[in-house]
Amino acid sequence: MKNTPDLGQDLSHLQGKLEEVKAQEKREQIFALEANERFSKNLAAFEKYYPDIYKALNEYQTRKDFCIHVTKSGHGNIIPNGEKVALYSEEPISQATEQVKKYTENASFGRSDYTATEEWQSDDPRLHIQFMRRFSSVLSKVDANNLTYLKSLPPHYPTAIIFGIGLGYHIPELLNKHSFDYIFICEPDFELFFASMFCTNWFEIIELLDKSGACLFLSLGVNYDEFFDEIYRIANEIGSFCAINSFCYQHYPSQKVNELIKSFFNNYYQLQTGYGFYNDAITGLAHAVHNLENNSNFLFSSNGALKELETIPAFVVGNGPSLDSAIDLIKKYQGDAIIFASGTTLQSLLKVGIVPDFHVQVERTKATYDILKLIEPEQGYSDLNLLTVDVMYPEVLKLYKWAGVGLKGPEAATAFLSFYSFLKCGKQIAELPASGPFVSNTSFSYAVTLGFKEIYLLGVDNGYKLNGKTHSDLSIYKDGKLSVLNGANIPFEGNLNDGVKATSLMAMSKVSFDRLIGSSKDQVTVYNVGEGAKLRSAVPLKEDDVLLNKVNFDKKDVVEKIKSHFFNTIPSDEIEIVLGFDEFDSLCDYINEIGRRNITNRDEANANLIAQQRLVFAYKNSKAPHLLQLLKGTMLYFHCAIVSFLYQFNEEEEVMVHFHKAHELWLEFVLAAKKDYRQSWRTLCEYTKPQYQKKE
pLDDT of 467 > 70? The answer is: no
149 vs 255, residue with greater confidence: 149
pLDDT of 482 > 60? The answer is: no
Q: Domain range for residue 49? A: 21-107+153-273
In a domain, 408, yes or no: yes
Q: Are 654 and 440 in contact (CB under 8 A)?
A: no
Please indicate, yes or no, whether residues 94 and 128 belong to a single structural domain of this protein. no
Kindly state the percentage of the chain with pLDDT values over 90: 73
Please indicate, yes or no, whether residues 428 and 499 belong to a single structural domain of this protein. yes
What pLDDT does residue 9 have? 64
pLDDT per residue as tens digits for the range 501-541: 888 889 889 999 999 999 999 999 999 999 999 999 999 99
In a domain, 13, yes or no: no
Please indicate, yes or no, whether residues 287 and 307 belong to a single structural domain of this protein. no
DSSP 230-247: HHHHHHHHH-GGGTSSEE
- 271: which residues sit within 8 A by CB, 6+ positions away? 231, 232, 235, 240, 243, 244
DSSP 573-615: TTHHHHH-HHHHHHHHHHHHHHHTS---SHHHHHHHHHHHHHH
Please indicate, yes or no, whether residues 337 and 427 belong to a single structural domain of this protein. yes
In a domain, 1, yes or no: no
In a domain, 290, yes or no: yes
What pLDDT does residue 378 have? 80
Q: What is the mean pLDDT of residues 382-402?
A: 97
- 111: which residues sit within 8 A by CB, 6+ positions away? 244, 245, 246, 644, 647, 648
- 237: which residues sit within 8 A by CB, 6+ positions away? none
Q: What is the mean pLDDT of residues 378-383?
A: 89
Which residue type does 674 have? K
pLDDT per residue as tens digits for the range 85-119: 999 999 999 999 999 999 999 999 988 888 877 77
In a domain, 15, yes or no: no
190 in helix, strand or coil? helix
Q: Catalogue the long-range contacts made by 307-311 (C-beta closer than 8 Å, 24 or more residues apart).
A: 308/553, 308/558, 308/561, 309/338, 309/450, 309/451, 309/452, 309/453, 309/558, 309/562, 310/451, 310/452, 310/453, 311/453, 311/454, 311/551
In a domain, 342, yes or no: yes
pLDDT of 121 > 80? The answer is: no
Cis peptide before 491 (omega within 30 of 0): no
Q: How many Å apart are CA 258 and CA 180, to the nearest integer?
A: 23
* pTM, rounded to two decimals: 0.87
Please indicate, yes or no, whether residues 142 and 182 belong to a single structural domain of this protein. no
Please indicate, yes or no, whether residues 578 and 685 belong to a single structural domain of this protein. yes
Question: What is the number of other CB atoms lying within 10 angstroms of the CB of residue 539?
Answer: 14
Please give the tally of structural domains in the chain.
3
Q: Are 566 and 404 in contact (CB under 8 A)?
A: yes
Tell me how far the alpha carbon of residue 375 is from its chain's centroid. Answer: 35
Q: What is the CATH number of the domain that holds 536?
A: 3.90.1480
What pLDDT does residue 484 have? 45
pLDDT of 181 > 60? The answer is: yes
Q: What is the mean pLDDT of residues 462-478?
A: 62
pLDDT of 193 > 70? The answer is: yes
Rounded mean pLDDT of the chain? 90
pLDDT of 695 > 50? The answer is: no
pLDDT of 160 > 90? The answer is: yes
Q: How confident is the model at residue 27 (pLDDT cuts 50, 70, 90)?
A: confident
Nearest-Å Rg of the Cα atoms of the chain is 29
pLDDT per residue as tens digits for the range 230-256: 888 888 888 888 888 899 999 988 888
Please indicate, yes or no, whether residues 464 and 515 belong to a single structural domain of this protein. yes
The last residue of a domain, from among 535, 568, 601: 568
695 vs 375, residue with greater confidence: 375
Q: What is the mean pLDDT of residues 463-472?
A: 64
In a domain, 10, yes or no: no
Q: How confident is the model at residue 23 (pLDDT cuts 50, 70, 90)?
A: low
Which residue type does 37 have? E
Please indicate, yes or no, whether residues 289 and 316 belong to a single structural domain of this protein. no
In a domain, 2, yes or no: no
Q: What is the mean pLDDT of residues 126-146?
A: 90
Q: How confident is the model at residue 689 (pLDDT cuts 50, 70, 90)?
A: low
Please indicate, yes or no, whether residues 138 and 170 belong to a single structural domain of this protein. no
pLDDT of 476 > 70? The answer is: no
What pLDDT does residue 481 have? 44
Q: What is the CATH number of the domain that holds 201?
A: 3.40.50
pLDDT per residue as tens digits for the range 624-647: 999 999 999 999 999 999 999 999
Please indicate, yes or no, whether residues 377 and 313 belong to a single structural domain of this protein. yes
Please indicate, yes or no, whether residues 430 and 546 belong to a single structural domain of this protein. yes
pLDDT of 480 > 90? The answer is: no
Please indicate, yes or no, whether residues 490 and 407 belong to a single structural domain of this protein. yes
